[in-house]
Amino acid sequence: MHLEYTDKQKAFRAEIREWLAASVPDKPLKTYDTEEGFQQHREWEAVLHRGNWTMVTWPEELGGRGSDLVEWLIFEEEYYRAGAPKRVNMNGICLLGPTLMEYGSEAQKARILPKMASGEEIWAQAWSEPNAGSDMAAIRTRADRQGDKYVINGQKIWSTRAVWADWCFGIFRTDPESERHHGLTFILVPLDAPGITVRPIPQLDGLPGFAEIFFDDVEVPVENRLGDEGAGWSVAMATAGFERGLMLRAPARFQETARRLVELYQANRESADRDPAIRDAVIRAYLDAESYCLTTYQTACRLQQGGKIGPESSTNKIFWSELDQSMCATAMSILGARAELQPHAPAAAGVGTWLDDFLFAQSGPIYAGSNEIQRNIIAERMLGMPRK
């Protein structure tokens, strides 16, 4: 055990810090859940790409830096520290990208990854359906093979970023006789294909952060399939399972939230200390964010030495989502009567972005596999408790 950065890691940190200082826009971008903001964030992805910073863990020939997981953690620390814009193409670079690298053909990788890296093509997810949420194996949207194409009919929902994204990926039922997780196929679909209707769904903040996607005889060529026909479930589940869990939410994000919470508490100390529970919650926020960071470094180092990720990775999702929720709830308590006010309201002095953060934190325990599902996985696969 050696808990110090190497000279190479320090140099890497210095390089990204310097680049961010020179490159992060002075003025915050508009939210990517507006058309204008989406475009601004797409342009920011291109800026990152020109600096080879889109996804540092990707190989160099794809615009990455071949970084290991510790360098990725350092990148994220600097990124959040610098207050850089949110990443509009997370679905692509964190979810589909690694999946493609493992399951994609050379032709697919060559066609898709460069445009993903540059932000030219932004990706949305198409997993859930109205009757297949936590029970994702209940998927019914059909992709019928007709010669060298699939004809897709059905409906996907809760597709994050789908309103302005260019493509979506998901699993579809290619074998109409099949049940559950059999007979599903992983397919990539351009969102401008004829027969697609995207209906925006306003989120808690009123903005269309996700959408429903209707497929009405949508034709896609067979080469848009990722992995074998009928193997969609394992492509969706097994692929880079860990990197997903780990990379989706870097510790730096929550450590910066904890830092802002400490600052908010300090700035409002007199009123906040009327409730001793607030001080306690602030201390806990700091400690838990620190625990998340330490544990993630530990996992990253173990994996770098050839270790495998196991079902204990399900603890990750629960930990960060509930930490985020509790930090934001504490901020609301500190803000008191100001908590409900939009930042531009005249009486909303010092509210920062907490309201947005608080609203978004409510979704954490739900998306990417609800925390109830994660608890089942932990009990059954990590602790060995019976499924039935």
Partner 1 sequence: MDFTFSEDQLLFRESVRDFLVNEVSPERIRESWETETGRGESLWQQLAEMGLTGITVPEDFGGLGMSELDFVLLAQECGYVALPEPLVNTVMVAVPMLRELGGELARQWLPAIAAGEARVLVGLQQNLVVEDAHVADLLLLVREEGIYALLPGQFSLERNESVDPSRRLFSVTLAEGAKPLASGDAAAGIARAALNRGALACAAQALGLAQRMIDLSVAYTCERSQFGKTIGSFQAVKHHMADVAVKLEYAKAPVYRAAYQVTRNVAKASLAVSHAKLAACEAASLAAKNSIQVHGAMGYTWEVDLHIFMKKAWALANTWGDAACHKARVADVIFAAGAPVGADTTFA
Q: How far is the CB of 80 from partner 1 (least distance, A)?
A: 5
Residues 267-286 that bind partner 1 (CB under 8 A): 279-280, 283, 286
Rounded distance between C-alpha atoms, residue 40 and residue 85, angstroms:
10
- Residue type for 101, please? M
Site for partner 1 contains 77 (CB under 8 A): yes
**Six-digit token pair at 76?**
């994220």
Site stretch for partner 1 (CB under 8 A), options 69-77, 97-105, 167-175, 177-185: 69-77
Using CB under 8 A, which of 38, 44, 72, 80 touches partner 1?
Answer: 80
Q: Is 366 in the site for partner 1 (CB under 8 A)?
A: no
Q: Which of 236, 92, 118, 124 is nearest to 191 (CA)?
A: 124
- Cβ-based neighbour number of residue 194 at 10 Å: 8
Give the closest residue to 140 by CA, choosing from 130, 148, 150, 149.
Answer: 130
Residue 243 is among the residues annotated as catalytic for this protein: yes
Confirm or reject binding of residue 321 to partner 1 (CB under 8 A): no
Residue 305, interface with partner 1 (CB under 8 A)? yes
Q: Looking at 19, 214, 297, 367, which residue binds partner 1 (CB under 8 A)?
A: 297
Q: How far is the CB of 244 from partner 1 (least distance, A)?
A: 18
Q: What single-letter amino acid sits at 40? A: Q
Task: Please say whether the beta carbons of 364 and 325 come within 8 A.
Answer: yes
* DSSP-derived 3-state class of residue 376: helix
**Near partner 1 in 221-240, by CB under 8 A:** none
> How many Å is the Cα radius of gyration of the chain?
22
Question: 145: which DSSP letter?
Answer: E
Which residue numbers are catalytic? 243
Residues lying near partner 1 in the complex (CB under 8 A) are found at 1-6, 9, 13, 70, 74, 76-78, 80-81, 251-252, 255-256, 258-259, 262, 265-266, 279-280, 283, 286-288, 290-295, 297-298, 300-302, 305, 307, 312, 315, 318-319, 372, 374-376, 378-380, 382-388
